[in-house]
Every structure is written in C-alpha cells, then in structure tokens.
Amino acid sequence: MIEKTFTQTFSAGTRIYSEGEKADVAYVIVSGQVEITTAQQQGSVTLNLLTQGQLFGEMALFENAPRSATATAVEDTVLTVVSQDQFKERLNNAEPMLRMLIRVFMARYRLSLSQTRSEGMRSQLNAPLPENTLSEETQLLAVGKFKQESELREALQNDQLQVHYQPLLHLQSGLWAGFEALIRWNHPTRGSIPPLEFITLAEETTLIIPIGLFVLRRACEDMVILQQERSKVIADAPPLFVGVNVSSKQLADLDFIERIVEVVNETGLHPSNIKLEITESMTIDYQLVVKWVRRCKELGFSVAIDDFGTGYSSMEHLLELDIDTLKIDQTFIRKMHTEDKAHKLVKGIVNLSRAFEFSIVAEGLETEQDVDSVRDMSVDYGQGYHIGKPQVLEDLLQQIKKGV
C-alpha cells in the first residue's frame, strides 16, 4: 500500500523512530534537524546530525529491516515520507542494467548486515557518508523528486488538482465545438503549477493512472453540465466534445479502457463526445497502441493524434491507426506566416487529412491572422489563445450563456 501520510511534523525532542523497530518508510527533511543515535554500553551515541534536504531511514526502502538506529527531531521538524512502494516503482522502471546493479547491491547489503549482526558487531550503516558520495546536484534532484511526488499524491487526495478547459472553435460556423481538458495543480504555496512541471513526474510513476482517471471523470461531469447549458441556448447545435490527454503509461495499463468505460457510463456522457488524445512520441510497444486505438473505436470513443508532425512521426501510423482527428502542432502554426515551407507543410497535412477523412485541429492560434489562415485552408477546428485560454467551468458557462 502507498502511504497515506505524505508529510509529517515532529516537535523538538520527539522520537521519529527507535532502533529495532520494523520499518517500511524513509524520510526527507523539509525543515528542521534530526539526530541519529544508537544505544551502546556507555549510553546513547550520536552517529549523525542531519539537516534540510537529507534522506534518512532509507534502509527500510530495501527491505522491512529493523531500524538500525534511533532518529529524534532536534528542533521542530517537517519530513516528507517516502514509502517502500514509491521506491520499488522507480526501481521497476529503471533501465535493466541499473536494476540489476541495485538488486545485486541490495543482496550484498543484506548478507553483510546479517553477518555483522550474527557476529554481534554494530554496523557502520548510519555513519556519515564520505563528502563526495553524491554530487549536490544528484542529491537535490533525487530528494526533490521524492518530495514532489509525495506532494503530488497529497494534491490528488486533497483536491488541489483542477481541470481547465480550452475551447475549440468550429471554424466554418464560428461556434464552439468542444474543449480540451488540461490539468492544473493549485499548489498551496506556489500557486497554479502548469502540467509540464508535474505530468512527467506522474508519468515516471503510476500516479498518472489515478490522475488521468480524475481528469477524465471531471471532464465528463463538466461536459454534461456545459452540454445542458448549451442546448438551452442553441437547441440544434452539434453536441460538444472534450479532448482528454492520454499518456503511454495509461495505454500500457490493461484495465485502463475498462476504467474509462466505467467512468463514462457513470457520468452519462456519450463516448463519441470524448476524444482521447495520444501523441506520436509514445515510447511503448507500437502494436499495443494499434490494439488500444482499435478497442477505443469499437467502444465508440473518438481518437486524435496530438502534436502531429513532432516526435517520432511515421506515415505508417496513419496507415495502421484508425484515428478520427489530427491535431497540427503549434510549432508549424507559429512558423506558417514567416516560412513558406511551414505554410506548405500545413497545407499538405490538411490535404492528407482530407484524403484519409480525418478532421483537423490547428493548435496554438494566437492571432486573428492565424485563425483566418487556417480557416482559408479548410481546417475544421481551431484552438489557441486567440480563441480562448484554458478556463474553469464557471467561466465557460458564462460564455455559453451568451451563445458562443
């Protein structure tokens, strides 16, 4: 089980753990100071005095080993809790050679620990590490990731994640056709954090699975509300759709489609109004993507290739993947007015999409000129700051009431 408490506070003088206790979590010091001591014949001996940013109790990450020392807060101390599961998840994702090395080191460590114990010796495992063991950068990065991961788990539990929606304009009718769901993290101290700062971290762990389902559920619920409001204002407008980003980790999770179906059934949104956005740079087994897309189509969902033309583009994808929509990446749109080749490329993608009967979305439309150009090229939908920024449900409802 993943630990439910991600941050713990200890007042000065409180014991964090005691020597000999069984353990399955390690800690990173957010603030304060921690003393590591061990009982010896002559009394308690201080082995280490740790401060902000340092990891301790990490031996528990390797096995449910008894604590080999006692940890006490010297002053009021805040700690990030790192569970064994969090650590194992990273280990399982590591490059095979690294995974093997770590497992070998772990086995050697266990052997030497049991030998030290059986010989009645006190191990040096809690002694301070030589200065140059880790570069400061490595330590900061690794510890920072553990800390941010714990914070993100906490954010999901404490309702700090929010979904914003960016409108997609149907370029011929001038009406909103749908939205893209984009996640935001309302951090208690840092304010609104954009997805690029935390989605990669979520994708490195299995956190992307519950986060993805959270976005999907919220998006479906909110779309039902927007749809109701829209039909009051424009009775005969086509139903609104919502694009939801799907990462490769989610595709690789075999239960994922069933979970999507469950959420969709519970919220009552029709599957055809959900556009699952996948990117070409997906690193997982390509055949898995092909099967996944096929299954989504059987279930009535619509599928889009996001950021088309970037990443590991291959025309083979277009032959094999039964998709509905291509989203042209904003880098091409940005260059369209200054570089003739970029303009031709966008035109080419549009022609190709026509032949394949894909609908097209042009992303990153920031000016009137951008919108006019792609409309002239018969692009179906436009998305970008000139049309509307990602917004919260309440703001969209206000605009829908005005007949957009």
Residues in the site for Ca ion, rule: CB under 5 A? Answer: 245, 277, 306-307, 363
- Which one of 9-17, 25-33, 185-193, 364-372 is the stretch in contact with ligand C2E (CB under 6 A)? 364-372
Is 388 among the residues that bind ligand C2E (CB under 6 A)?
Answer: no
Partner that binds at residue 273, options Ca ion, ligand C2E, none, CB closer than 5 to 8 Å by kind? none
Smaller CB separation from ligand C2E, 76 or 366: 366
Instruction: For residue 245, state whether it binds ligand C2E (rule: CB under 6 A).
Output: yes
Backbone angles phi and psi of 129, in degrees to 5 = -80, 150
Counting contacts by CB under 6 A, is residue 194 touching ligand C2E?
A: yes
CB of 195 to ligand C2E, least distance (A): 4
Could you say which of 199, 303, 328, 349 contacts ligand C2E (CB under 6 A)? Answer: 199
Q: Among 243, 311, 247, 315, which residue's Cα sits nearest to residue 272?
A: 243
Is the CB of 171 or the CB of 305 nearer to Ca ion?
305
Name the binder of 385 from ligand C2E, Ca ion, none, CB < 5-8 A by kind: ligand C2E
Cα of first residue to Cα of last residue in the chain, in angstroms, is: 47
Nearest-angstrom CA–CA distance, 6 and 78: 11
Query: Cβ 345 to ligand C2E, closest distance in Å?
Result: 18
269-328 positions binding ligand C2E, by CB under 6 A: 306-307
Q: Give me the amino acid identity at 41.
A: Q
SS3 283: coil
Work out whether 38 is an interface residue with ligand C2E (CB under 6 A).
no
Q: Which two tokens stand for residue 44?
A: 């308690």
* CB closer to ligand C2E out of 245 and 359: 245
Among 29, 50, 182, 207, binds ligand C2E (CB under 6 A): 182
Instruction: Examine residue 20 and tell whether it contacts ligand C2E (CB under 6 A).
Output: no
Strands 175-187 and 77-83, how do they pair?
unpaired
Look up residue 262 and give its two tokens. Answer: 């469950």
Asked if 248 touches ligand C2E (CB under 6 A), the answer is no
Residues 75-114 contacting ligand C2E, CB under 6 A: none
Is there binding between residue 222 and ligand C2E (CB under 6 A)? no
**Can you tell me whether residue 295 is helix, strand or coil?**
helix
Q: Which of 97, 129, 196, 254 binds ligand C2E (CB under 6 A)?
A: 196
Half-sphere exposure of 102 (CA within 13 A, CB side): 16
> Nearer to Ca ion by C-beta: 57 or 364?
364
CA dist 281 and 304 (Å) reads 13
Residue 199 interacting entry, from Ca ion, ligand C2E, none, C-beta within 5 to 8 Å by type: ligand C2E
Nearer to ligand C2E, 188 or 194 (CB): 194
Contacts of 114 (CB under 8 A, 6+ apart): none
Binding-site partner at residue 166 among Ca ion, ligand C2E, none, CB < 5 to 8 Å by type: ligand C2E
What are the E-state strand segments in 191-256? 191-193, 241-245
Q: Which is nearer to ligand C2E, 302 or 330 (CB)?
A: 330
Backbone angles phi, psi at 276, to 5 degrees: -85, 120
Which among 134, 119, 180, 183 is positioned nearest to 385, based on CA atoms? 180
Does 183 interact with ligand C2E (rule: CB under 6 A)?
A: yes
Size of the site for ligand C2E (CB under 6 A): 21
384 binds ligand C2E (CB under 6 A): yes
What Cα–Cα distance (Å) separates residue 12 from each residue in 28, 48, 74, 77, 378? 17, 17, 5, 7, 68
Rule CB under 6 A: say whether 178 interacts with ligand C2E.
no
What is the spatial distance between Cα 131 and Cα 139, in angstroms, rounded to a whole number? 12
Q: Which of residues 32 and 167 has its CB atom nearest to ligand C2E in the complex?
A: 167
Q: Which letter does DSSP use for residue 56 in this model?
A: E
Is residue 103 within a helix (H) or strand (E), and if so which, with residue range? Answer: helix 96-118
- In angstroms, what is the minimal distance from the CB of 251 to ligand C2E? 11
* Helix (H) or strand (E) run with residue 59 in it: none
User: Residue 310: CB partners within 8 Å, gap ≥ 6?
Assistant: 280, 281, 329, 331
Q: Which residues lie near ligand C2E (CB under 6 A)?
A: 166, 182-183, 194-196, 199, 212, 215, 245, 247, 306-307, 330, 364-366, 383-385, 390
